[in-house]
Amino acid sequence: MAIVGLMTFFTACEEDGTRVVMSEDPLAPSIVSMPDLTLVRSQANDTLVFRGTPVDPGFTASANYFLEACPAGTGFVSKTQVWSGVDVSEIKITVGNLNGALKKDFPTDQVSPIDFRLRAVLIVDAGTGSPGTSTNPFEYTSDPVTADVTVYGLPRLDLVNSGKTQKVESALGDGNYTGIVKMSVANPFTLSDPDSGTRYGGSGGLLSVDGPAIEAPADGYHVLNVSLPDMTYEFEAMMIGLVGSATPNEWSSPDQKMEYDQNAGTWYITLDLVAGEIKFRLNDGWAWNLGGTPGNLYHDGPNLPISEAGNYTITLTITDFEGELATCTIVKN
């Protein structure tokens, strides 16, 4: 009876299915071709096609694939997933969806060299723990392919001839634009829509197509609000500065004005300080001011100490302008 039982066992194993043997050197997937990656907002609904070849482990297998991106030359230490699926012969993705995935990690409205790769995840067995199982799958990645990519940001108006490259953006895409911009009375400017090619000018708060250059109310940073539906514009002074006994003017105005990084959304300044105290305030006044600790700045908070004289670089990140909340770094150079 034991011999009969063993014969039945081996027969059942043969009838269960074909034996699967994995190649000692599986072929990784590859990217065969890529589309032009100059992404344009007006083409957001157009379809881009990446073409690739699947992983070949030596037998017919299904795999999950991921199209990933990273800054060129960084080895996918930090990666952005732009697509996933099971067929890499034609990877179809709209311009808008690709742009939406990339703009989280890459600068907008400029060209960036980006590496793309295909990553295949292959599950051979439904068991646990062993190589090829759902908890320990096989992974294969293609060689990276580098492309110059232009990622577009929010709808914007560029300030032409304002003295530096800057823009105002429409967060809702409704024709209302805002941004913190640096003004100079010596540099009247116009507003250019890069999507339509339309240029706007104006005076007295009223815009017109191809109108005269707009004159700034004063030097320094301002919030510029533009409404194309109403064809209006307005300025609001927005100058963040340092004040205090450690600064050159001590507690008197004018404050030591900070510069604004429009891409990072931070204020910064490098200057010589003496031992003393500092605070941040708006437009040389106390109605809006920040103190506390570098990790927790708030309205009317305590003065920040500067323990010794030296050259410092100070960066301010406003997390809630209306609520007067922020953080900062104070670094002695």
Going by C-alpha positions, the residue among 267, 161, 181 that lies closest to residue 225 is 181
Q: What is the DSSP letter of 164?
A: S
- pLDDT for residue 10: 38
Q: Do 156-237 and 240-332 come out as alike in CATH topology?
A: yes
Helix or strand run (H / E) with residue 314: strand 310-320
DSSP string, 60-88: ----EEEEEEEETTSTTSS-EEEEEES--
Question: Given this structure, which CATH class describes domain 240-332?
Answer: mainly beta
pTM, entire model: 0.71
For 6, the 3-state DSSP assignment is helix
- pLDDT for residue 74: 96
Is 294 in contact with 304 (CB distance < 8 Å)?
yes
* pLDDT profile of the chain (333 residues), mean per 10: 36 46 77 96 93 85 89 96 93 94 90 96 58 65 97 94 94 93 97 94 97 96 98 97 97 97 91 98 97 96 97 96 95 96
In DSSP terms, 58 is beta-bridged to none
Indicate the domain borders of the chain.
20-151, 156-237, 240-332
- pLDDT for residue 315: 97
- Kindly tell me the burial class for residue 331, based on how many C-beta atoms sit within 10 Å of its own C-beta (0-12, 13-18, 19 or more): exposed
User: In the numeric block, which tokens belong to residue 45?
Assistant: 């609904």
Question: Given this structure, which CATH class describes domain 20-151?
Answer: mainly beta
Multiple choice CATH, 156-237, 3.40.640.10, 3.90.1560.10, 2.60.40.3620, 3.60.150.10 = 2.60.40.3620
Is 109 in contact with 152 (CB distance < 8 Å)?
yes
